[in-house]
Structure 1
Amino acid sequence: MSGTMSFASLISRRRFLAVTGGAVVALGAGACTPAPAPRRAPDLRFSNRPPLVFRASRVDVREDYHSPLRAPNVEQDMPLPPLRAARQWGFDRLQADGSARRTVVLSIRDAAVTEKSLAVRKGVQGAFNTDQAERYDASLDAVVELIDNATGVITAQATARVSRFVTVPEDASVVDRENAWVTLVEGLMADFDGRMEQAVRSYMAPYVLLQ
């Protein structure tokens, strides 16, 4: 009987802690429930854009950026992180025609998103106004290189670096925040797509089948 009462008492004291970013951890009954994984959004595709076809044998996509996986970075919690979107860009837009012993290499050097808390009004003013509470800054930096397979010499290269930010209000739900993140990455990748294509056509033109 005392064992049953003890278990019921523990259950009655169970509480929930809300963690910034939408993860919820349940405490009680002597066990912890793992935080749920971030929602995964569909991949952002670029197959509707004409490919950049190089006089090369193959394409290689390298992830040189490694997230610190801690605040202020939040890309690890995003349903569509910039690193994944940039990798897909490489698969969709870069192609080799197989005509030369060269490798097209896309190296993703930066794909971070950081969070910054913003000042919100308190007291009476705060009660009647909804302020922007967090700002998210996203950056993407990558280089496309054409490397000779025999010598390892870089024959030509093009770089692109873009950045964007978005703010979310203090009353934003988890879904609102995730939707803002997806929109942020979509805009970031649109900027990157245009900037990198321009750079490739400007600095790697002799090795690209221009369309």
Structure 2
Amino acid sequence: MLAELETGLVALIKASALGSRLRQVDSLPDLEGDSLIGRFTTDAPAVYVALGSFPVRNRYVRPRFGIACVARNSRGHQAARHGDGVAIGLYEMLDAVMALMDGAVISYGADEAAGFEVTSCDQVASEPLFQKGLYVGVLQIQAVVDMPMPPFLDESSLAVFQTFHADFDIEPHQPAAEHAKWLHEPADYSSSAPELPDTLTLPQE
């Protein structure tokens, strides 16, 4: 259910008039710190979708997502916020996403769909972002009604588990930004490397 909702939100933005004015529309990258800021700098103007915290009660849920809008403009902060007629600005992106998401209905099954409403907008104030000329706003959206939790997982629908890979980091630990580089495909060991990698491939019938 959750994966289908996130995928549906991304697809809705891509198919909209806003999507054609963006360089990237995707789920939020699994990065942090300098790695995430680097991705924002490369991708802007961009919109990312990420699952947020949401209430669960008596096997009913009300999913909440964050829609992050990222703008950048070399002509200065006002152009980055307002747009300049060439590159879209942050406020234009927020306006468009609010209009698109408030009342949006996303399918997550053959006969199942969830309606969403916009509940808040947060500006991200960060000196590292401003130093890169980046301006970020995050819209919070939530399902309008409680939804039943999905049924228990059908294990027969899962693909066969084939390979497990782990990277071990021994004290003194590398920062999380370095750990994130090791998760790239292929892994980025340009500035650090795990103390011990371990890959286990299971025999297949």
Structure 1 and Structure 2 fold alike (TM over 0.5): no
TM-score, scaled relative to structure 1: 0.30
TM-score, scaled relative to structure 2: 0.31
